[in-house]
Amino acid sequence: MMLRIWLNAVLLICGLFCNATGAFVGVNIGTDVSNRPSAPDIVAILRAHQITHVRLYDADAHMLNALANTGIEVMVSVTNEEVLGIGELASTAAAWVNKNVAAYAPSTNITAIAVGSEVLTMLPHAAPILVPAMSNLHKALVASNLNYQVKVSTPNSMDVVSRSFPPSTATFNTVLNSTMIQILQFLRSTKSFYMLNAYPYYEYVKSNGIFPLDYALFKPLSPVKRIVDPNTLFHYTSMFDALIDATYNSIADLNFSGIPIVVTETGWPWFGGSNEPDATSGNAEVYVNNLIRRVSNDSGPPSQPAVPINTYIYELFNEDKKPGPISERNWGLVFTNGTSVYDLGLSDAEITGANSSSSFCIARPSADEKSLQDGLNWACGHGQANCAAVQKGQPCYSPDTLQNHASYAYNDYYQKMRGSGGTCDFGGTATTTTVDPSYGSCRFTGSSNSTLGGPFPSTALGPVGPSSDSPRTTAGLHFGTIATLCLLLM
């Protein structure tokens, strides 16, 4: 009994403080992708690029299994096709939670459920059932004792706001007020957050030159072009901030407050048709880099400066099977082989890794455990690989899996011996990759630098507050200890 009380207390502390490390930038992983890599390969790309938060557009079992024991925070999604059934029957919602959340917890760090995607504007006939669906899912989480870990919300586009500028006068479309009030009541009562899909690219294109391109790209504006809200006199240095403030003001117009906004989608297309001149790799690179810098400030928009803006970039891979204009299929950050579409970084330091010609040797995800153990034993024994880094307490020990330890040992052997005939085989349990498998403070042999093995700097994606290796005290407790307990217990 005392143990249960203690565990509940720790979970409460996790709920209060585990997000205290500052804002993060994550990525969306779409499904309309030709030659999409296997789930383990996608996870390898995420880890190589230091991505610690992902949003899935479904609840794919392969991805959820591959994300287990990685520590990556996962937002799963109820598809638009599933919303009606879940809203109509509580038993359907319970079955969905049991199959797609409870079955993977706590190994897979699922922290949110996105109910549909822009349901109010894409499926307006489903609006009356949206909040019942959210409520049924929340009740199912309560029944599974997962409601403190997993929040429920629904992503909305900026189309639900009738006019976004000036932000101070923004309101929700009046025909949606009844549903929006129900959504906000649910979010407030469950201590969840408002999910916003905010695309300065589309807002800029629709403005027909009213707003300068630099404003959409977070670039500095000259004094004569500065954007000022005439009612509040707030200066907006980016359209991104203005869109978020327009949403905050729309929420306030319905007499709600204290509901934080998480940007579930934003980005910039890197290629478009002849009638899409601003969809270029140069603009995409500038937008995403400046977005990362903006979020890393750990501050909110002018109306909510103390509320950081957690954000998910759209998207990891190009969804080349999507219909519509050419730009719709070219939002990806990396190609399916793991190489970068364009360079990303927070500084002028050289960015290397996934787009390098270096080759690494890693364990095959499909290899059976006995064969992996045999290969690991050989590499660390007769193969004379330096396996110190995968010993307990060392940088590459966690995650404590055969897959991870064998990958490190295989690669150390391969890097040292391939010049004299050493191969990456290990009884068929190994394969080569050009994606640097390094992660966090774990640097694989042959990694080009000790900063990062991918295009994202170590502070770019994931927590951008204090380092996870540095102590942080919260309410008299060591934050590192709390975070560890959160991961173990949730």
Query: Can you name the residues that pair with 197 across neighbouring β-strands?
Result: 157, 265
Q: Would you list the DSSP string of 356-391?
A: SS--EEEE-TT--HHHHHHHHHHHHTTT----GGGS
**Residues 390/440, Cβ–Cβ less than 8 Å:** no
Query: Catalytic: 118?
Result: yes
Which residue of the set 73, 82, 118, 315 is catalytic? 118
- In 3D, which of 266, 240, 239, 382 has the Cα closest to residue 331? 266
**Residues 108/490, Cβ–Cβ less than 8 Å:** no
Residue 307 CA to residue 285 CA, distance in Å, equals 26
CA angle, corner 153, sides to 147 and 154, nearest 5?
155
Q: Which two tokens stand for residue 113?
A: 């459920």
CA 338 remoteness from chain centre: 17
Q: Would you list the DSSP string of 274-301?
A: TT-TT-BHHHHHHHHHHHHHHHHT----
Q: Are strands 261-266 and 311-313 parallel, antiparallel or unpaired?
A: parallel
Residue 32 CA to residue 36 CA, distance in Å, equals 9
**Residues 413/385, Cβ–Cβ less than 8 Å:** yes
Query: Catalytic: 81?
Result: no
Long-range contacts of 466-469 (CB under 8 A, 24+ apart): 466/21, 466/22, 468/21, 468/440, 469/441
Which residue of the set 73, 203, 265, 285 is catalytic? 265
Task: Give the largest CA-CA distance in the chain.
Answer: 74
Residue 53: strand, helix, or coil: strand
Positions marked active-site: 118, 265
